[in-house]
Amino acid sequence: MAREGEILAILVIFPMLLLLHSKTTQADTFIVGDDLGWTANASVGNWPQGKTFFANDTLVFNYDNQLYNVVVTDQVRYNSCTITMNSRVFESRHDRIHLVFGENYFMTGNPNDCQLGMKMAVMAEN
């Protein structure tokens, strides 16, 4: 009889422990730059520090689209602050961009602002 109680406890407790240790499937939403938004004046490159991101989380970029935009790019273009005809450029003022697993690179299309640090890399876990 004690054996049945042990088995029942395992069957009930083990799934509960798995649930406690797994991430929920609901994605989080983050406002880039917090109250300052996506601007050249904000320290946006440092904004991701101390935060944990997962694939499918959403980054919201709020900015003045008369001055800025958001370019989703790769590491090479991120490092050199260059865009190509194939670059994904967002200009809505309130862009919602979903993270993919791994490194995600964002920058402004203005090379001067990009060189001054208006760019950021975000690592998204699975």
CATH number for the domain harbouring residue 80:
2.60.40.420
Q: Where are the alpha helices (DSSP H) in 27-120?
A: 75-80, 111-115
pLDDT above 60 for 10: no
Q: Which domain covers residue 112, as residue numbers?
A: 26-125
pLDDT band with cut points at 50, 70 and 90 for residue 26: confident
Give the pLDDT of residue 41.
81
Three-class secondary structure of residue 90 per DSSP: strand
- The per-residue pLDDT for range 44-100, each reduced to its tens digit, is 999 999 999 999 999 999 999 999 999 999 999 999 999 999 899 999 999 999 999
Confidence of residue 19 (pLDDT cuts 50, 70, 90): very low
Q: How many CB atoms lie within 10 A of CB 93?
A: 16
Q: State how many domains the chain has.
A: 1
CA quadruple 62, 75, 47, 57: dihedral sign:
positive
75 within a domain of the structure (yes/no): yes
CA distance 26 to 98: 13
pTM for the whole thing? Answer: 0.79
Closest CA relative to residue 108, chosen from 52, 66, 50 = 66
Query: Would the CA dihedral through 33, 35, 38, 43 be positive or negative?
Result: negative
User: Does the residue 2 lie in any domain?
Assistant: no
Q: Is residue 107 part of a domain?
A: yes
